[in-house]
Structure 1
Amino acid sequence: MSQKPIVHVEYDGAGYEPRYQVLREQILRKVPESTVTGAQGRSSSFEVTLNNKEIFSKLKVGQFPNSDK
């Protein structure tokens, strides 16, 4: 049996929550069975994990993910 996708987003609470909400909606539209959570975190962060594995880091790449990533 496949593991249900669990996505977690750590985001800077100073204005990044709307970006998290958009990403959450996009993920749930494409993969409705997934669980998507978010929490305020470090300054300038927008860190995305899938099943506890980092798949995107704004802190590392210096930009936000786009819908192609």
Structure 2
Amino acid sequence: YVSCEPEEAGVAFAADMLGPDFILYASDYPHWDSDFPESTRSLTRRTDLSEEVKTRVLGENARAFYRLGS
């Protein structure tokens, strides 16, 4: 697994080339430059990511990583 911040340009490329199943969302909280709690908004508004990729990055992959139920 790898993590990404919402504005990272390489997220779409990584998801396309390697698949979206290993990318985790990182809020960068509590760093001074974090947009938390609004940081998910920039990822959900991205047009270069499919809804499936957004769903996986924003939660489903973390569920799998931590072995949480749905």
Q: TM-score, normalised by structure 2?
A: 0.29
Which structure shows the higher helix fraction?
2
TM-score w.r.t. structure 1 length? 0.30
Q: Please state which structure has a larger fraction of its residues in strand.
A: 1
